[in-house]
Structure 1
């Protein structure tokens, strides 16, 4: 099976419009009509189940689309360790029919959503708080630090709250409360201690309820992030300790000391158990906290986990190389000494493994019995999943039973051997193991080289959600029967074998062991990193401790933006006027608009300079705009005040006027938004006009989009107005249109492939012509025909060369686009498309080289921004 190449066709919002059973007499189906779900590009699925219908897929967080030779399937993962698979029947752009195991048929219709993110922007007024301009009120913290604040802004969020009661609060608490009032998000410097103090001071004040709720969410999310970050680091530290046990510094001692070598092997196995149990704990912790995290935070956590995967694989690779160098360097005599030392230990090891396998078999049998005792829910999907889970447990039990028999046979056979036979057996197995290591190393090298390409972010997310869900479900079953003697015996055996406090702490954190002492309370603290080489771990891609709660919200989702826009509508507490003179008489005022200096200065750099620099606008508190219409000024102010502007109602002319006004007043967010919307409206008739406007007003983003559009569509572009373009733009357009996509097919439809001319040239039918026609042909006409044929052949050859060149160009373009798409999946949406194009071209479309080049940069975000600045 392979991932479905047309999965983009299924991405988008869907509504279940019909739910029916395969059999008419099945009345157990829930009413699923009206449930909405969104299949996102990154592999996430978002459900909207307002009626809380008990439908297992609605508890899933991720999906994947794949195809077999027979059909296409959509798989949902993340629900109780199960993968819920639907067969897709004739997928189309507007309709989706899903079949589940011949039980249920869901008919889904696509929902058309208006994604108007072009003119959306982060909204905050914190600049006014930080600089304190136009302040009309002062608040003092307990340490005497004063804050210059604005009653107009405070009244938006606090209403009739007694502002004087904020005086005397700790500086960190007062700063956090004011920052929230000016931005409706938490400061990025917020600590857990400050969040607790904010909750303590404001939990009984209704006006601060939103701040208290955000602080509580911050504490939960920060605790989850700290736990996940600590567990990942613990896994890396354990692997580094395993590597240090076999590194070159200890190699000479271990080659002459079989006891030390065997002790290192046992310590390494103990660290390996810690790696496994911490990965289990990582999966359980993520599954536990994922409902508290927003979709954006979950994507951030997945990106962090994905970034650590190459580090993990490289650590395993280094471990195997160290072990191969050590064991492979043993001489025959050293190998004999090592085998003689290990041989007596093997029998005990086989006995322990056999006993552990028996306990695992008994536990699996007990869990399977509890599954069989469960009653069916009456819901087809839940019952089917329950049957599948019971079937998997049955198969696992059978495999464990075979493993127990196999280990029992091996143990008996080894016990019956003589001492010399045991030593020879151990030597033979060591030799076979050493011979297998290079193959494993070779496979790891292949994985490292192709990891970024072979495992996309969506595939990694689906796999991790699925694995973590299964592990969490298994741990839940063990918790239910942890008081049973066989479970307690198994856990106690493992703890006695490893003899590590970290293992006990992890089992306590998983609630599989009881906490019997104060020394096992912190399970996720990273171990001591001294002498482990852990300081050499790469630090890029660390999980940020601050999620969306500490980032500026978008204006469309900000309650503060909605409240600020009301100020513009009712004009309360306004202290500035915009004057629009009459067209007939400049001294006459045709329109007057009132505004607020603190809002304008906080949202626009030009107003910030004009209103604080002692200019006439600052003195008169009046700004005259002689070349601006009332409608344009209204749109501009609505954007600055955080209103949601419906871009579908704006014409291209209005967007261009907004773009010019944004350039005049240095509002980069508005300029970028207008360019984004205009880019989405490019067509063959307006691209040249847009290119000229973009060049005139230094709209780099729009200009690049126009060039890319002309390159793609070539001769289809309307050439009207081409002569009016500046010379440098005209040359670019002519360069791209000369290599248009239509010319590569021109020779296929030309007269060369039709009529007698083509047949004469290739001699296809010359032997079939009548002899009278051949005899009547004169030498002159024959010569003329031959010359014409030569000319046509030459023309055809030239056309074919052009066609081949165009095909190669199209292939190169497709290769470049594939590379950019892969880089977008790997690096995420924070890197701009021009930067991705630059990386792809610099690396000759080699994805690995492009990623390495990007990660080698000191700060990719700064490089990206500087690149945009220089191009502009």
Structure 2
């Protein structure tokens, strides 16, 4: 892995080995089959198989990553809830597998997923029909008279609890924006983008009263809760700004000041008692701001799963916009302090202040020493308790889960020990300073305090320059990706500390209670209690006044914070990236709309059209595929694939025709397939008869094809290779690209020496870029295939490509070969495929047009032209006849001949050509 870009994309965990399994073989794990996606913004998304029973808990927590170049490269995953960090050594295998090695404890082997492997992750909805209103059979009117053209079929599928046949229909008379939101939900099972808070409230009230809209009420409730939680988090940032402003006002002499922001009452700091009081007040405000910062980190890290990705990003972006404001406040504070102490205090006043501060300093040093001693002791107890608790646990589940837990526990102990070492070092330094200060005489103490005060005053300009430099660096160089990583990483580290403090809060009471007593602010103590790291009984004791009565809070805590703190002790159930978006329709596997639509297809209820499948029962199967885009016969199919072929030259065979009929619903198939929508809206026979005739298709396969349109999902595991090939033919014929990609991905998994050339020919015929690239790669890895007899049956252009590929695989690729192969690989882009298809269409039509004109000059008889242009006159006439049934009698025969020749007599392809031109 030389470049970070190689990490980006989606991967499937194909192989998991724990330390014991490395020697003993593969060990089954719940992590196998899990998909993980590394996007270019630094986020990792996990998708766990539905049938997985044992999932390591760390999967739900690691949501950001960092790729560190080196030898070997390191992939760092960070848990944004627990603060855990896992560093994987990254390597790649020749077959393209990504190998992640975690300290030789376990190894993950991941295979890259192509877009076709992720078809089931695409949102499912009928929004196309809602937005365009075609085949509407019902009108619902809003309170202001605005009409919405809707469909009884979809409404019945989405909400069967309502009677959509009655007049006036349900939902009539609702407010316009509410009616739009409700209908949008019925077609997509999600909320419309840009929904306002007021509309969401009205939707919630409406949905709560109507049958069948319980899920919409839940979505609106979640939307409103998210808004409240988001406003609470943003409110905490605003409260921190307020605390900073109060600190500035305190050092500004408690007044409004002049234009420069400096109060005329600043001479009050010449009074040592007032100065000392101001410092204490400022420290208390700083402690309150710190408590709000802890609450912010805790809320975001613990409840971010309730947000959609867009909402999380909105919070992070808001915090990013507040950074310059915080730095501006800090700069203003330092400027105020500089002017106060450098311009308004004489040397005698500084000495007087130093004399007053000496007892305060001594008291503070003694108090800090006691707190540090208690903290050091508490950390030692936490380390011992954590180790003991981990040994007492009897972990259930697979070996991988136990391995991960043990590895993370060891890292946690290392972090605690390092923190303990730092605390011990600071403790020793503090004791050293306290002892040295105690050994000084009174006069030496005064001189030391004055000297330190003057040194701080002299360094104010340097501090201001550093802040300005930091502000400009943040403005110019801190990218969105870097800030998002820093925000999530920082909040996760704070959350980890709070989590450990919560687990051992009994041990920490001796440290936290004196801190709350020193700050003596109810806002601070209440926040510490709500974070779960201080008992409420200590809260009452700390906040009591001298006469024994409890202080009343001047600031009310938010209900959301209280709720969050209460639920802190209960672990959430397993979820990964819980809310992708409230405005994105669910994937087919989670869509009730897809499930109900599938049942509707099976029942045939409310059907308003039908498919007529004309199936040909052949007496025997031919050995080769005659019809090919480039006019060459395809190589013989291997025995395992010879059962079914998509295109057959059957003019000389005794064909037994059977007709099958499947009932369907115009609005559903039109919303899910553009080809059917165009056909049913063309004004031609399909739209008049409400019937689409399908030739050369297996009825059962076509039913599965329709099932995919209705459900958005198709399980290809139960289909044979030849059935998947036929399904790809159907999806290509009717331009259902998602199903075509799914078939490509399935066929690609069946590549072997017997099928490689057949797959290549099939991919070339249907412009299947993923399958084509897979077949080419397989042939490149097995160059001896070019020596087989089947190779000679390939079309000329494919033989040339394979020869170039084999030559390149055995030698260094020349610039010409590089260009050719790169061109083949680049065909995976949709836009380039479309351009290639249009060029092919234009070329074919132009050739047929030129041929028609040339022969027309010799003989004006259309029948003679037909016979002269092709030896397969029977196929041509059959195709023209079928086209005539669809497009009508007004189209000139010359035009039908032209598109028939361009389409190699395939009716469906000819129709595509006809409607495209």
1:35 counterpart = 2:31: yes
CA pair 445-519 structure 1, distance change in 2 beyond 3 A = closer
Say which SS state the counterpart of residue 506 (structure 1) adopts. helix
Alignment counterpart, residue 658 of structure 1, candidates 718, 721, 735 = 735
Equivalent position of 1:303 in the other structure: 313
1:274 counterpart = 2:288: yes
- Residues 16 and 29 in structure 2, CA contact (< 8 A), matched pair in contact too: yes
Cα offset for 1:606?
Answer: 12
CA pair 168-256 structure 1, distance change in 2 beyond 3 A = same
Alignment counterpart, residue 510 of structure 1, candidates 531, 534, 546 = 531
Equivalent position of 1:232 in the other structure: 237
1:572 counterpart = 2:605: yes
Say which SS state the counterpart of residue 607 (structure 2) adopts. coil
CA pair 682-339 structure 1, distance change in 2 beyond 3 A = farther
Equivalent position of 1:523 in the other structure: 557
Equivalent position of 1:667 in the other structure: none
Equivalent position of 1:94 in the other structure: 97
Unaligned runs of 5+ residues in structure 1 are 527-545, 582-589, 661-676, 688-698, 710-718, 727-872
1:412 counterpart = 2:426: no
Query: 1:422, 1:487 → 2: CA distance?
Result: 31
1:348 counterpart = 2:347: no
- Residues 336 and 427 in structure 1, CA contact (< 8 A), matched pair in contact too: no
Alignment counterpart, residue 452 of structure 1, candidates 449, 472, 478 = 478
CA pair 704-277 structure 1, distance change in 2 beyond 3 A = farther
Query: 1:254, 1:591 → 2: CA distance?
Result: 96
1:153 counterpart = 2:149: no
Equivalent position of 1:492 in the other structure: 517
Cα offset for 1:440?
Answer: 1.8
What are the superposed Cα offsets for residues 534-569 of structure 1, whole Å, 9 maximum, x if unpaired? Answer: xxxxxxxxxxxx972343335675331343355456
1:13 counterpart = 2:12: yes
Query: 2:325, 2:285 → 1: CA distance?
Result: 13
Say which SS state the counterpart of residue 18 (structure 2) adopts. strand
- Residues 61 and 82 in structure 2, CA contact (< 8 A), matched pair in contact too: no
Query: 2:360, 2:105 → 1: CA distance?
Result: 56
Matches within 5 A, 1:306-325: 306-325=316-335
- Residues 94 and 109 in structure 1, CA contact (< 8 A), matched pair in contact too: yes
1:46 counterpart = 2:46: yes
Cα offset for 1:438?
Answer: 3.9
Say which SS state the counterpart of residue 314 (structure 1) adopts. helix
CA pair 84-436 structure 1, distance change in 2 beyond 3 A = same
Equivalent position of 2:108 in the other structure: 108
Cα offset for 1:418?
Answer: 6.5
TM-score normalised by L of structure 1: 0.57
Cα offset for 1:184?
Answer: 1.7
Equivalent position of 2:712 in the other structure: 643
Equivalent position of 1:432 in the other structure: 458
Cα offset for 1:723?
Answer: 11
What are the superposed Cα offsets for residues 769-818 of structure 1, whole Å, 9 maximum, x if unpaired? Answer: xxxxxxxxxxxxxxxxxxxxxxxxxxxxxxxxxxxxxxxxxxxxxxxxxx
Say which SS state the counterpart of residue 18 (structure 1) adopts. strand
CA pair 232-415 structure 1, distance change in 2 beyond 3 A = farther
- Residues 142 and 173 in structure 2, CA contact (< 8 A), matched pair in contact too: no
What are the superposed Cα offsets for residues 820-847 of structure 1, whole Å, 9 maximum, x if unpaired? Answer: xxxxxxxxxxxxxxxxxxxxxxxxxxxx
Say which SS state the counterpart of residue 423 (structure 2) adopts. helix
Matches within 5 A, 1:366-381: 366-373=378-385, 374-375=387-388, 376-377=390-391, 380-381=406-407
Cα offset for 1:372?
Answer: 0.9
Say which SS state the counterpart of residue 185 (structure 1) adopts. coil
Cα offset for 1:437?
Answer: 1.0
Query: 2:695, 2:433 → 1: CA distance?
Result: 87
Alignment counterpart, residue 592 of structure 2, candidates 559, 563, 579 = 559
- Residues 125 and 183 in structure 1, CA contact (< 8 A), matched pair in contact too: yes
CA pair 425-513 structure 1, distance change in 2 beyond 3 A = farther
- Residues 576 and 621 in structure 1, CA contact (< 8 A), matched pair in contact too: no
When the two structures are aligned, how many residues end up with a matched partner?
647
- Residues 233 and 300 in structure 2, CA contact (< 8 A), matched pair in contact too: yes
What are the superposed Cα offsets for residues 330-359 of structure 1, whole Å, 9 maximum, x if unpaired? Answer: 796524277457533465256336524532
What are the superposed Cα offsets for residues 120-151 of structure 1, whole Å, 9 maximum, x if unpaired? Answer: 8654456877989845698999x999999755
Cα offset for 1:44?
Answer: 1.9
Cα offset for 1:398?
Answer: 0.7
Equivalent position of 1:83 in the other structure: 85
Query: 2:588, 2:56 → 1: CA distance?
Result: 34
Alignment counterpart, residue 359 of structure 1, candidates 365, 371, 374 = 371
Cα offset for 1:362?
Answer: 0.4
- Residues 639 and 645 in structure 1, CA contact (< 8 A), matched pair in contact too: yes
Cα offset for 1:523?
Answer: 3.1
CA pair 417-592 structure 1, distance change in 2 beyond 3 A = farther
What are the superposed Cα offsets for residues 431-477 of structure 1, whole Å, 9 maximum, x if unpaired? Answer: 33314314422540453245434963674366236414423324414
What are the superposed Cα offsets for residues 499-555 of structure 1, whole Å, 9 maximum, x if unpaired? Answer: 4x54344234323363768847843599xxxxxxxxxxxxxxxxxxx9723433356
CA pair 577-21 structure 1, distance change in 2 beyond 3 A = closer
Query: 2:843, 2:216 → 1: CA distance?
Result: 60
CA pair 306-721 structure 1, distance change in 2 beyond 3 A = same
Query: 2:597, 2:345 → 1: CA distance?
Result: 79
- Residues 19 and 31 in structure 1, CA contact (< 8 A), matched pair in contact too: yes
Query: 1:316, 1:618 → 2: CA distance?
Result: 70
Equivalent position of 2:346 in the other structure: 336
- Residues 236 and 292 in structure 2, CA contact (< 8 A), matched pair in contact too: yes
What are the superposed Cα offsets for residues 295-341 of structure 1, whole Å, 9 maximum, x if unpaired? Answer: xx464455335424543432243234334544555796524277457
CA pair 32-659 structure 1, distance change in 2 beyond 3 A = closer
- Residues 320 and 483 in structure 2, CA contact (< 8 A), matched pair in contact too: no
CA pair 365-592 structure 1, distance change in 2 beyond 3 A = same
CA pair 51-471 structure 1, distance change in 2 beyond 3 A = same
Say which SS state the counterpart of residue 573 (structure 1) adopts. coil
Query: 2:191, 2:434 → 1: CA distance?
Result: 61
- Residues 139 and 149 in structure 1, CA contact (< 8 A), matched pair in contact too: no
1:250 counterpart = 2:251: no
Query: 1:86, 1:606 → 2: CA distance?
Result: 47
For the aligned residue pairs, the C-alpha RMSD in angstroms reads 6.3
- Residues 137 and 151 in structure 1, CA contact (< 8 A), matched pair in contact too: no
What are the superposed Cα offsets for residues 673-701 of structure 1, whole Å, 9 maximum, x if unpaired? Answer: xxxx98979999999xxxxxxxxxxx9x9
What are the superposed Cα offsets for residues 564-604 of structure 1, whole Å, 9 maximum, x if unpaired? Answer: 355456543133578999xxxxxxxx998865455478779
1:287 counterpart = 2:312: no
Query: 2:427, 2:26 → 1: CA distance?
Result: 40
CA pair 621-120 structure 1, distance change in 2 beyond 3 A = farther
Query: 2:84, 2:504 → 1: CA distance?
Result: 17
- Residues 579 and 593 in structure 1, CA contact (< 8 A), matched pair in contact too: yes
- Residues 591 and 630 in structure 1, CA contact (< 8 A), matched pair in contact too: no
Unaligned runs of 5+ residues in structure 2 are 393-401, 541-549, 561-578, 615-658, 717-723, 738-766, 777-796, 802-826, 847-917
CA pair 118-13 structure 1, distance change in 2 beyond 3 A = closer
Say which SS state the counterpart of residue 346 (structure 2) adopts. helix
Say which SS state the counterpart of residue 40 (structure 1) adopts. strand
Query: 1:235, 1:30 → 2: CA distance?
Result: 53
Say which SS state the counterpart of residue 397 (structure 1) adopts. helix
